[in-house]
């Protein structure tokens, strides 16, 4: 499958889950901009049946190659990023996984039971990446229990496999020259930004600046009824040239650490 088809399907699901992202996208379009994605991010558990290496299959088949490997000690995550070597409009793919053995036996058991519920056709095929919640209607009690240990685990338990965020490449915007200008534009339009660790994560010296909206609040059907919880968010990235003159293409672990918090629970 061509990568562009994968991303189109992921985007269509993403804007249903996150209508605010579509409104942000439309704001840029009405400024005359063409939105190009810097990267698209996914989450999973490090259970070998659904690990990064499993989710990566469709991207490798469409020509992507692995570039970076990252460790987020505080969040107990590892991640890899992938790029398409010839198509320079193809977004980077960033996939992280939660290191289950760092958590309580109870969290590990919940994760294992979730994976046990996934159909073999998904585990052995190439469609898991956009299959959504493949372990059944979540319980709000379990969601709350997971949140005590890991907001990441709680988010994944509810939403499963989908784009956690798309990221607008500020480098590809014509009339926005700084990330501060993008942030002000979004705030003027009434969008909430994630300010954990400051609105801008990273510096020009680190070669990557990023900001993100706070995840929109979505009514979700749990076994106990409908509850409003955070869904996905939209990210913005500005890359700076490295000493070789080319734009830096990797990720900064300490910045991403704070950006993961964009889906932390909050009350509207
Ligand atoms: Ni990101």
- The DSSP secondary structure of the chain, one letter per residue, reads --HHHHHHHHHHHHHHH-HHHHHHHHHHHHTT----EEEEEEEEE--TTTSHHHHTHHHHHTT-EEEEEEEETTTTEEEEEEE-SS-TTSPEEEEEEE-GGGS-HHHHHHHHHHHHTS-HHHHHSS-GGG-B--S-SPPHHHHHHHHHH-HHHHHHHHH-BS-SEEEEEGGG-SS--SHHHHHHHHHHTTPPBP-TT-SSBS-GGGTEEEEEBPPPEEEEEETTEEEEEE--EEEEEEE-B-TTSSBP-S--HHHHHHHGGGGS----
Q: What is the mean pLDDT of residues 65-89?
A: 92
User: What is the pLDDT, as a whole number, of residue 267?
Assistant: 61
- By DSSP bridging, strand 92-98 and strand 233-239 are unpaired
Which comes out higher in pLDDT, residue 35 or 261? 35
Q: What is the mean pLDDT of the chain?
A: 93
Please state the pTM of the whole predicted model.
0.93
249: CA distance to ligand 1 center in Å?
Answer: 12
121: CA distance to ligand 1 center in Å?
Answer: 29
**Residue 256: pLDDT band with limits 50, 70, 90:** low
At a CB cut-off of 8 Å and minimum separation 6, what does 12 contact? none
Is the predicted pLDDT of residue 3 greater than 90, yes or no? no
Q: What is the CATH number of domain 3-263?
A: 3.10.180.50
23: CA distance to ligand 1 center in Å?
Answer: 19
User: What is the pLDDT, as a whole number, of residue 196?
Assistant: 85
**Residue 103: pLDDT band with limits 50, 70, 90:** very high
User: What is the pLDDT, as a whole number, of residue 96?
Assistant: 97
214: CA distance to ligand 1 center in Å?
Answer: 13
177-196 pLDDT, tens digit per residue, is: 999 999 999 999 999 999 98
User: What is the pLDDT, as a whole number, of residue 253?
Assistant: 72
138: CA distance to ligand 1 center in Å?
Answer: 26
52: CA distance to ligand 1 center in Å?
Answer: 16
* Encoded tokens for 65: 């190659």
235: CA distance to ligand 1 center in Å?
Answer: 6
């Amino acid at each position: 499958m061509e990568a562009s088809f994968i991303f189109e399907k992921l985007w269509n699901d993403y804007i249903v889950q996150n209508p605010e992202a579509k409104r942000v996208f439309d704001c840029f379009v009405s400024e005359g901009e063409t939105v190009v994605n810097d990267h698209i991010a996914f989450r999973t558990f490090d259970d070998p049946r659904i690990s990064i290496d499993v989710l990566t299959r469709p991207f490798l088949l469409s020509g992507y190659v692995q570039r970076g490997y990252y460790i987020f000690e505080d969040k107990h995550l590892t991640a890899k990023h992938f790029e398409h070597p010839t198509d320079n409009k193809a977004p980077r793919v960033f996939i992280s996984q939660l290191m289950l053995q760092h958590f309580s036996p109870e969290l590990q058991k919940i994760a294992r039971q979730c994976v046990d519920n996934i159909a073999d056709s998904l585990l052995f095929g190439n469609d898991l990446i956009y299959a959504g919640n493949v372990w059944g209607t979540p319980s709000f009690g379990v969601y709350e229990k997971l949140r005590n240990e890991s907001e990441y685990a709680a988010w994944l338990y509810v939403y499963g496999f989908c784009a956690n965020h798309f990221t607008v490449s500020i480098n590809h915007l014509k009339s926005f020259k700084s990330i501060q200008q993008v942030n002000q534009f979004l705030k003027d339009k009434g969008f909430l930004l994630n300010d954990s660790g400051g609105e801008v994560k990273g510096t020009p010296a680190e070669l990557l600046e990023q900001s993100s909206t706070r995840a929109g609040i979505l009514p979700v059907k749990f076994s106990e009824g409908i509850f409003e919880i955070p869904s996905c968010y939209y990210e913005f990235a500005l890359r700076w040239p490295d000493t070789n003159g080319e734009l830096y293409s990797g990720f900064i672990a300490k910045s991403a650490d704070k950006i993961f918090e964009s889906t932390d629970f909050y009350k509207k």
